[in-house]
Structure 1
Amino acid sequence: MRNVFLSSILTFLFISTISGVIEPVHDDKDVVPHEEQMLDVDTIFRALGVPYCMRKCIDPFINSTTSLWTMKNVVNQARKVCSLHAQALTCLKKEQFCDHNKIFSKASSSVEYMCATKHVLFERMETCLNPVVDDVMSECDKECYARSNLTAFSQDSNIKFAATVGGNAFIVADHLGELCTSLQCTLPCVTKRLNNKCALSGWLSLDMLMQPFDAVSVMVEQLSPPLKDLIVKKIDKRCRFAINPSRLNRIRNGDFTAFNMDRQ
């Protein structure tokens, strides 16, 4: 069950990465970063209990998304992200007992989908996307507070406590609500605005971003009913869409009301 929680939470974080909200770990912990650089990825991963062998493999990939934090030159940086993601997967294959459940692969499957499956379509749209995507991402972030919510999450005293005790996925799961609220806002915003700028690019991006949620929902569906019920109860109601296959399918098809069914 811990693997399902870890995969679920990493999914939220990697979706945030692709949406442009990850900053590398700061080497000097005594240095106070600039306002836009206060996200503490190291604390988040330690709070999740991500093992060192996995960090060793995935940190270069995480750090490659620096440009996405400022939402500048996103399209051109995608190739570097793809390359380092492939290197992370290769590294984890060599560490046979580090990630035998392929949690990283599932959580970052959006990147794999973009880089390996849909790269030809993205390349065809690149000329159109390049001058507009940075502004779209920035505008949606201003509306949805993805970066500020993830920064606040990483600075939360409960998350810092989980980091100091070697990780606690249940504590982390209890504090995902605001991140899910941001995702509920960001995914429709990006989809609609990209479609308006470059035909079909929003739907292609949405399809890509939904991949890891699909993987997590399949994992949850395969659990025993008692464990499945426990996870549904434990995860913030604002995040329940992410483990419900029927709701995910509706969202993928543009029915964004499926985000808010728990509020009805």
Structure 2
Amino acid sequence: MSTQQKLTTPPAGTNENQTIRELMNLSGRVAVVTGGAGHIGIAICEALAELGASVVVVDRDADSCGKLTDRLSKQYQSQTLPLAIDLQIEKEVLSIPDSVENRFGRLDILVNCAAFVGASNLSGWVTDFANQSSDAWRMALELNLTTPFVLTQACAPALAKNGSGSVINVGSIYGVVGPDMRMYENTKMGNPVAYAASKGGLLQMTKWMSTVLAPNVRVNAICPGGIQRGQPDSFQEQYCSRTPMGRMGHEQDMKGAAAYLASDLSAYVTGQNLVVDGGWTAW
């Protein structure tokens, strides 16, 4: 066989005549979603379960994990596993792939969705740049960047076994562009540099891993724009006025992106950042 023939031959087991419905089918595959019981995490778990995947919900709160897995099992007939894990404890993070393989015998999809977003009352977080603290910085980088690194590294061998592993890192538009701080005036909201830096690092890590883990594991990112979740009217009005689609995002808007990147619909896509922001970053 010539070099050119080798380069153009599809991977073993690939059917070039698969339908779209077949390409998006995740039956038999196992997905791990960190922050799975959070707002965006729930939507992603629902999307993957609906497409047939077994879903492992990783979150700190055991009750929330259990309630979600019970619902996914009933609503989508999905095989599920709740894992109450503190992602700030590396030993617990490293236990995830073994727990998944012991239960399901495989691991195909990893969604790094858990994120440190802080709170308005956290010292050194939502404040002017001069008063943002190194402690808050470290907390953000630990959960938003270090944990995805540690978990992806630990899961990589299992993800590669079946030749169709997919890692999805959930970033943010503020890992891509800078904030307009005028939008936060007269609110308790803010946009700390640590959050932006951690999400920017996650996007670069996505590109790095996409080349190193190929061809058996694809690594991509989803960057949500602002999600409507009870923000002050003044903020929402300014945000919507600057968004081509004229509204803030909803958790449901993330489902299609997750389904695409997790499935064989994107079998030839890696190292990419799918921005789901209603056009916010297109101006």
Higher relative contact order, structure no. (Cα contacts within 8 Å, ≥ 6 residues apart)? 1
Q: Give the number of the structure whose residues are more often strand, by fraction.
A: 2
Question: Shorter-chain-normalised TM-score: which range?
Answer: 0.3 to 0.5
Q: Give the number of the structure whose residues are more often helix, by fraction.
A: 1
TM-score in terms of structure 2 length: 0.32
